[in-house]
Amino acid sequence: MNSSAKFIVWDWNGTLFDDFDAMLTCNNIIFERFGHAPSTPDTYRQHYEIPFSALLRNQGFKDDEVAALDELSKEIFHDQYEPHAASINLREGAEELLRDASKYGIQSLILSNHLVEPIRAQLKRLKIDHLFAEVLAYANRGVQFRDMTKGEKLRHYMKNQPVRAGNTLIVGDSTEEIEIARTQGLISVAITGGCVSEARLRAEKPDYVIHSMRDLKPILQERGFVS
C-alpha cells in the first residue's frame, strides 16, 4: 500500500450482516427472562446503546440488576444468537460493494462489538473472508466491552497504516460509528434499518445517511474511492 491507500471500515451487526431481527429476538429473551417487557423494533432502536449494560438500563433495568446480570446476559445472548446467525445473510447489495472495493484496491475492515471468531466463521460461510484485510472485534466473551473500545481498536490499527485524511470511510448503523468518525477525521455513512432509528442517526450529523447498501456506491464515486 502507499500513501494514497483507501479504507472502508464496516460495522458488522446490523450493517453488513442483516441480523437486526435476530438481535432483537435474542435480547427480548433476556429482557423477559428477567422480568422486563420485550422491546418492539421501534423501542429497541430508540433504546439501543453500547455497552450492553447501557441497553439494559435504557430498557428499565436498575443498577443492581445490571451489575448482577451483566455477564450472565452476555452468555445468554451469545448462546441464543449464534444458531440464528448460521442462516443470516449480508444486506442486499453488500457483497457487490465489497467485491467492487476489492477490485479498486480499497482495504475493507470490519470493526465490531461482536467477537472475532464468530464473525470470521460467518465470513467463511458466506465465502467473503478474502475480501477483508482485518477483523477488529473482541477476542472472547470475557473481554467483551472490557477491552479496548471500537474507536480505540481502530485508532491503534490505523496508526500503522499509510493513509491520508479523507481516505477512510466508516459505515455503521449506530451513533457509535458517527462519533468514531468525528473524533478520528473519517467520512461517516450511517445506514438505516439497523439498531438505531433514523432520527437518532440524523441527530448525530453524519456526513451521509443511506437506506440501502446500493446507496453507498454514488458516495464512493463522489469521494473518489471508485470510478
Summarised one tens digit per residue, pLDDT across range 146-193 is 889 999 999 999 998 877 768 999 999 999 999 999 999 999 999 999
Does the predicted model carry a pTM greater than 0.85? yes
Could you give the angle at which helices 150-158 and 175-184 cross, rounded to 10 degrees? 40
Q: How many CA atoms does the CB half-sphere of 67 hold within 13 Å?
A: 3
One-letter amino acid at 211 equals H
Neighbour order of strands in the sheet with 134-138: 134-138, 107-115, 7-10, 168-172, 187-191, 208-210
Residue 35: φ, ψ to 5°: 85, 20
Radius of gyration of the chain measured on its C-alpha atoms: 17
- What pLDDT sits at residue 133? 96
Cis-peptide into 51, omega within 30 deg: yes
> What's 172's DSSP letter?
E
Residues near 131 by Cβ (< 8 Å), separated by ≥ 6? 98, 99, 101, 102, 108
Q: How many CB atoms sit inside 10 A of residue 69's CB? A: 18
Residues of the chain with pLDDT under 50: 1-2
Residue 100: φ, ψ to 5°: -65, -45
Which residue, 71, 69, 49, is CA-closest to 61?
69
Q: And the C-alpha cell for 6?
A: 483507501
Which CATH fold topology does 7-18+90-222 show? Answer: Rossmann fold (3.40.50)
- What pLDDT sits at residue 217? 95
Q: Where are the domains of the chain?
A: 7-18+90-222, 20-85
Residues near 37 by Cβ (< 8 Å), separated by ≥ 6? 31, 60
- What pLDDT sits at residue 56? 93
- What pLDDT sits at residue 2? 47
- CA 46, CA 49: separation in Å to the nearest integer? 9
